[in-house]
Amino acid sequence: MRFFFLHVLGTEICVVSLCFLGCEKGRRVGYKCYLVYNSYEDYAGASRKCLERGGRMAMPRDRKEQEALAEYVKAFFQPGNWPVWLGINDLRSEGMYLFDDGTRVSYFQWRKHFLSSQPDGGRRENCVAMSSDDGDWWDHYCDRTMNYLCEHKHSHSNAWGH
Sites of contact with Ca ion (CB under 5 A): 90, 126
Distance CA 23, CA 28 (A): 6
Closest CB to Ca ion among residues 17, 126: 126
Name, in order, each residue with C-beta under 8 angstroms of 70's C-beta and a sequence gap of 6 or more: 109, 130, 134, 135
Closest CB to Ca ion among residues 65, 90: 90
Question: Smallest distance, Å, CB 125 to Ca ion?
Answer: 5
Question: Smallest distance, Å, CB 139 to Ca ion?
Answer: 6
Closest CB to Ca ion among residues 80, 102: 102
Distance CA 3, CA 45 (A): 37
| Nearest-CB residue for Ca ion | 126
Question: Smallest distance, Å, CB 99 to Ca ion?
Answer: 15
Distance CA 36, CA 78 (A): 13
